[in-house]
A = this chain, B = another copy of it.
Amino acid sequence: MKRVITITREFGSGGRTIAKELANRLGWEYYDYSLIAKIAAQSGYAPEYIERHGEDITSWNMWNMGFFSLSDSLFLAQRKVILDLAEKGNCVIVGRCADYILEDRTDVLNVFIYADEAWKKDRIKTIYGENEKDFDRRFKEKNKKRASYYKYYTGHSWGRAWYYDLCLKTSSLGIEETVNILQSVIVS
């Protein structure tokens, strides 16, 4: 019986929208930005700092092996909040290596959400109306940083199927169908 869903997602893939809608349908809690408030309250970090660095790792921190960095400290604060939330159950947690942090639990469904490059870019432009010039750089950087953060703290390669129970490509399946699949896995 699964009581927690973790969503690891590419920037632009619609993973957050899926997580929100899924939580809504199941009547479960949904944690993404709301996680930031909880981490802030427990750790003393400013919400802005958490939002900016909670899933990014700077190149300085990446090569700062053997030293305990601010990034490590934030990771540990996030870890504690995620462990507590999973203990309560009935929640969908987006990002922040939650799949790895909860790997010892048997009641967690781990999902990877991804999409074709062109589809992700189109989606972001439609939602945020990015201007063309900065967009490509920011898009590439954001996904790269997310993958690097994941690799650094989990040792796992982003998007390697074995770390997840399901990997779903939203550019093929669509947002609605992806939510349907995940809902059916939980309620069946």
**A residues bordering B, Cβ < 8 Å?**
109, 112, 114, 159-162, 164-169, 172-173, 177, 180-181, 184-185, 188
The interface residues of chain A, by DSSP majority, are classed as mixed
Contact of A161 among B169, B173, B184 (CB under 8 A): B169
Are the C-beta atoms of A161 and B162 separated by less than 8 Å? Answer: no
Given contacts A114-B161, A166-B172, A177-B188, 7 further A-B contacts (CB under 8 A): A114-B162, A159-B161, A160-B161, A161-B161, A162-B169, A165-B169, A166-B169
Q: Check A184/B184 contact, CB under 8 A, given A114-B161, A159-B162, A167-B166.
A: yes
CB < 8 Å neighbour of A184 from B159, B165, B167, B181: B181
**Is the Cβ of B165 less than 8 Å from the Cβ of A172?**
yes
Bound complex: CA A180 to CA B181 (Å): 9
| Min distance, Cβ A54 to any Cβ of chain B, angstroms | 23
Is A167 a contact of B177 with CB atoms below 8 Å? no
Closest to A114 in B: B161
Chain B neighbourhood of A112, CB < 8 A: 161, 167
Q: How far is the CA of A162 from the CA of B167 in the complex (A)?
A: 9
Contact B162 A160 (CB under 8 A): no
